[in-house]
Amino acid sequence: MELYNYMGYELIEKIINKEIIVKDLIQSAFDRIETTDNLIYSFINLSKDKALKKAKEYDIKIQKGKKVGNLYGLPLANKDLICIKGFPTTCCSKILEGYHPPYNAFVTERLIEQEGAIHIGNTNMDEFAMGSSTENSCYGPTYNPWDISRVPGGSSGGSAASIASGQAILALGSDTGGSIRCPASFCGVVGLKPTYGRVSRYGLVAFANSLDQIGTITKCVYDTALLLEIIAGKDPLDSTSVNIKVDKYTEELKKPLDKKILGVPEEFFGEGVNNEVKSSVKKSIEKLKSLGATTVEVTIPHLEYTVATYYLLCMSEASSNLARYDGLRYGKMSQNLKGDVYDVFSRTRNEGLGAEVRRRIFLGTYALSAGYYDMYYIKALKVRTLIKNDFQEAYKKCDFIVCPTMPSTAFKIGEKVDDPLQMYMDDVLTCPVNLAGLPAITIPCGFDSNDLPIGFQIIGNYFDEKGILNIGYQLEQELNIYRKTVPAIK
Amino acid sequence: MRIQNNEIIIGLEIHIQLTNLKTKLFCSCSNDYRGTEPNTHVCPICIGLPGSLPVVNKKVIEFAIRLALALDCKINNQFWFFRKNYFYPDLPKGFQISQYNKAGGKAFADGGKITIRLNNHKKDIILNRIHLEEDPARLVHKGSISTSPFTLVDYNRSGVCLIEIVSEPVISSPEEAREFLKQLKSIVQYTGISNLELEGSVRVDANISIKGYDRSEVKNINSFKEVERALRHEIIRQKNILKRGKKLIQETRHWDDKRRITIPLRTKELEEDYRYFPEQDLVPIEINNDFIQKVKSELPEMPNERSVRFRKEYRLTEFDSYNLVLDKNFADFYEEGVKSYPSFGFEEYKLYCNWLMNDISRWLNNNNKTIKETKITPKHLVDLINAIKNGKITGKIAKSFIPDLMVGVNVKALIEKTGKKRISDKEYILKIAREVITNNPDIIKDFKKNPRALEALIGKCMKKTKGRLDPELTREILLDLLSNKIKKIEI
């Protein structure tokens, strides 16, 4: 079996047992990228020389019995909006061309500098994480490894595709309205969006800062638990990060599901959800019942308002978060310096920001404007509270909520690009989780008739990552499809 | 048309840098940016690099509580920040983290007042609120902003903590505004949160209107001294427009301190919409009453209280005590001085105050300095007063000592030095010379035969004055006297 088909924890064992060396592992990742990425386009920037150099250093350290951190040089793909000191970070936007952050994000500091993951490159994404298909990147789209005529989902499409295709073992993503779970679902891998505040956002380039959360994409739940143990926790540099005990997630996975109550919200199985998806998810719920869980019907009555609420809020926040890109201090300024400072700023932003980003800035600016603020922004905040309350009501009756991650499987490249509203509707099952700030995980639970992966979503109560990882792990082991590899990529 | 002063309505928004903080409002960069190499006091947070997040400097809360207590404001137990969105090169994030008291927001503290005294009248200037915000970067131009070929941006100032004090529109003249700012400056100094003598530590926006007409907002008044000037100009401008029968419009104007005029910036229709909304990178900040009480217990005596105490303790007049306490260092100087000499009584207290309020204040004004920037010590002034009392020097001479005292020369040295200067006082020399002549008839006799005996007389004069007389002038006067005397004798 090729190295890239192993799980992360298995590779760590092999390194510890000296069956393989880190350099071979990193080399195999780059070999896999070499042979597949001209068709998938997961990566927009590689860090090959540095990664191989690091691998050699680690091998020497391991040989000498020195510590290299708990990740033992596993190859890590980083979404192009999480800062790594000195490595180009563009958010897949022309406006950040040439920008090299002078500092590490909290998560990259932990994973790379402290725990020995080796950064192999940055992955493609929708520009500034705005999109559900990775078609809005200034570098062009990423293609789904299961079927390269289809989208990988978005916005962390590059990260999910790199894991699905075995180019990387671990990947970072960010999830504002489903940006980890959507591509993880479409690419048949595990995607975790932790509770808002569980993982520091320091060094994550903001799209909508009250909704953004860093998370992980891996092939299996165990690897996700391993990563979360490292990246979770209070960071003094992020005021919104929370000082709540970080569990030993990897040790909690194997606990039995006895008496766990799963809430099944009928709204999440509504008309817009594809029948194959519905039946696959329902089958998985039966499996969980066979493992000792029970189910109860719950309701999220305001689900129908979530997409509108989500888009109003994320666009409003984005209009402010993205105001700093004026080309003055970093990134790409317009070559045409005619007129006053406002002319140059406008031209720079017009040339540097893509259509979807500009659309969201326009709409967000509008929603925050005098006279519209109460009608749109304030109202959306109120609905957000209602949605939070819906979940809290549901959690009085159950421990977890289980549902599909996406209403459908991966769609064709270009299928929805001209219809933003239809694209926005794809977030209907994921964005309520962000509005409420809850943790959620998606794991592959089956395949549709086109052999495309289907995602199963488990939504936990606040800071119950332990719980959703436990359910996810049990289901994953029971279904036993997580080792299924993508078809040969040609 | 004649417009009375009570028809003028002024409201002020004063931005004060908390210069006594060690670090900026949201990051750990040094707050002390003055005189530093441009763009060296910066980090990912204060230049708003992608992915950076603000964290509130805890000391800021304490400083703001101090000011709020001193201004008698109502401190809100919970507050949060808002984003004020606009594009400008001095704003690296494209928004300023500030506070907002609408749209569900709250100021740091509401209300409050400052009591001013003008022409023997007291008036409370009511405050609307105080709030915290970050300072934008500093824009540097070559010469005037309108003719400079470039604009440079120095982000060292970016993120420094500002506290904004907003008055109600209850100020009715430039003089009142001046007194208000004088008091505010004094209170800020007493709280120890800022040194407002530092350049650029204060910025004022003023709303000015004539009752019944649209107001204008004058921005960019960069010192307290300029405020009165800007207000006077703007009132005259508005009056002139009305006199000519024209209409006043609501607009924002810019104070050009070089030309000393206000120039139009934008009209109401073009007012920027700042799209205030909550800053969610920061969590709401809770301030509990115990902490407020703790800060309160540590708060030093405020100028008002001190003034009252001075009236009682030193029996100063209301006017004297009011003015004496304005500059804390000045008042500290006073107290240290009068307390250092236990035999001082109410008479000396008054004298000491007079010296500070008259001669020393005049010198400070003329030299544009504060007492702290000089070398005079409270002991110097005690010595000066004692020297007058003991008849060592006259009041007139004491006055002439002031410039030397201010640069650190002590009174003893000045008396010694100035003793020699009495040579110019012909009458004094004459008095001494007469005494010497009267008391030394033998030498006078000798002088008739031997003119060299004059040296002996000069010596006697010198001895009498510890050598402080000018020998040449003494010789001249003695000669004059002796020739007269000789004549007299001959006659």
Helix-strand-coil split of chain B, %, nearest 5: 45, 20, 35
Using a CB-CB cut-off of 8 Å, the residues of chain A touching B47 are 329
Question: What residue has token string 């000082």?
Answer: A243
pLDDT at A299: 97
Q: Does A402 contact chain B (CB < 8 Å)? A: no
Cα–Cα distance between A213 and A176 in angstroms, integer? 6
Specify the pairing of strand B8-17 against strand B216-221. Answer: unpaired
pLDDT at A409 over 90: yes
Query: Regarding predicted confidence, which is higher, A309 or A2?
Result: A309
B19 in Cβ contact with B198 (< 8 Å) = yes
**Nearest neighbour of B50 by CB, restricted to A205, A238, A365:** A205
Which of B45-54, B137-146, B196-205, B335-344 shows the highest mean pLDDT? B45-54
Burial class from Cβ neighbours inside 10 Å (0-12, 13-18, 19+) for residue A259 reads: exposed
Tokens representing residue B385 in the block: 């007063």
The CB-side HSE value for B244 (13 A sphere, CA atoms) comes to 8
- Alpha-helical regions (H) of A291-340: 303-321
- CB within 8 Å: B94 and A326: yes
Which of B425, B440, B417 shows the shortest CA–CA distance to B473? B425
pLDDT at B467 over 80: no
Using a CB-CB cut-off of 8 Å, the residues of chain B touching A316 are 277
- CB within 8 Å: B51 and A202: yes
Helix A22-40 / helix A8-16 crossing angle, nearest 10 deg: 150
Tokens representing residue B194 in the block: 């800022």
Using a CB-CB cut-off of 8 Å, the residues of chain B touching A320 are 83, 85, 94-95, 275, 277
Which of A196, A177, A389, A243 shows the shortest CA–CA distance to B280? A196
Instruction: State the nearest Cα–Cα gap between B306 and chain A, in angstroms.
Output: 41
Structural domain spans, chain B: 5-294, 301-422, 425-490
pLDDT at B418: 66
- CB within 8 Å: B51 and A320: no
Q: Which of A54, A79, A332, A466 is catalytic?
A: A79
Using a CB-CB cut-off of 8 Å, the residues of chain A touching B87 are 323, 326, 342, 345
pLDDT digits (tens, 9 = 90+) for B373-412: 899 999 999 988 888 888 777 777 788 888 888 888 888 8
pLDDT-derived band at B416 (thresholds 50, 70, 90) equals confident
pLDDT at B485: 56
pLDDT at B453: 83
User: For this structure, is A79 an active site residue?
Assistant: yes
Give me the domains of chain A, ranges plus CATH numbers: 3-263+396-479 (3.90.1300.10)
Using a CB-CB cut-off of 8 Å, the residues of chain A touching B96 are none
pLDDT digits (tens, 9 = 90+) for B482-491: 877 545 544 3
Give the ipTM of the model, two decimals please. 0.96
Mean pLDDT of B215-220: 91
Tokens representing residue A333 in the block: 């300024």
Cα–Cα distance between B149 and B70 in angstroms, integer? 45
**Nearest neighbour of B85 by CB, restricted to A83, A89, A323:** A323
- Name the closest residue on chain B to residue A364, using Cα atoms: B275
Instruction: State the nearest Cα–Cα gap between B368 and chain A, in angstroms.
Output: 39
* A409 Cβ neighbours under 8 A, 6+ residues apart: A186, A274, A276, A277, A448, A450, A452, A453, A454
User: For this structure, is A155 an active site residue?
Assistant: yes
pLDDT at A331: 95
**Nearest neighbour of A370 by CB, restricted to B51, B95, B273:** B273
Mean pLDDT of A49-67: 97
Using a CB-CB cut-off of 8 Å, the residues of chain A touching B92 are 324, 329
Tokens representing residue A342 in the block: 């406002």
CATH says B425-490 is which class? mainly alpha
Q: Which of A28, A93, A155, A162 is catalytic?
A: A155
A448 in Cβ contact with A462 (< 8 Å) = no
Q: Which of B46, B52, B154 to mutate to test the interface with A (most CBs of A within 10 A)?
A: B52
- CB within 8 Å: A370 and B153: no
Instruction: State the nearest Cα–Cα gap between B104 and chain A, in angstroms.
Output: 9
pLDDT at A421: 87
> Any idea which of B18-27, B210-219, B321-330, B382-391 has the lowest mean pLDDT?
B382-391
pLDDT at A265 over 60: yes
Instruction: State the nearest Cα–Cα gap between A329 and chain B, in angstroms.
Output: 8
Q: Does A440 contact chain B (CB < 8 Å)? A: no
Long-range contacts of B431-435, Cβ-Cβ distance < 8 Å, separation of 24 or more: B432/B461, B432/B464, B432/B465, B432/B469, B432/B474, B433/B457, B433/B461, B433/B474, B433/B477, B433/B478, B433/B481, B434/B481, B435/B464
Using a CB-CB cut-off of 8 Å, the residues of chain A touching B283 are 239-240
pLDDT at B421: 54
Residues 241-280 of A with CB under 8 A from B: none
Mean pLDDT of A85-98: 97
- CB within 8 Å: A320 and B92: no
Which of A41, A110, A37, A126 shows the shortest CA–CA distance to A76? A110
- CB within 8 Å: B280 and A209: yes
pLDDT digits (tens, 9 = 90+) for A118-165: 999 999 999 999 999 999 999 999 999 999 999 999 999 999 999 999
Residue B395 has a CB neighbour count (10 Å cut-off) of: 9
- CB within 8 Å: B280 and A320: no
The CB-side HSE value for A156 (13 A sphere, CA atoms) comes to 39
- CB within 8 Å: A204 and B51: yes
Question: What residue has token string 């708003």?
Answer: B48
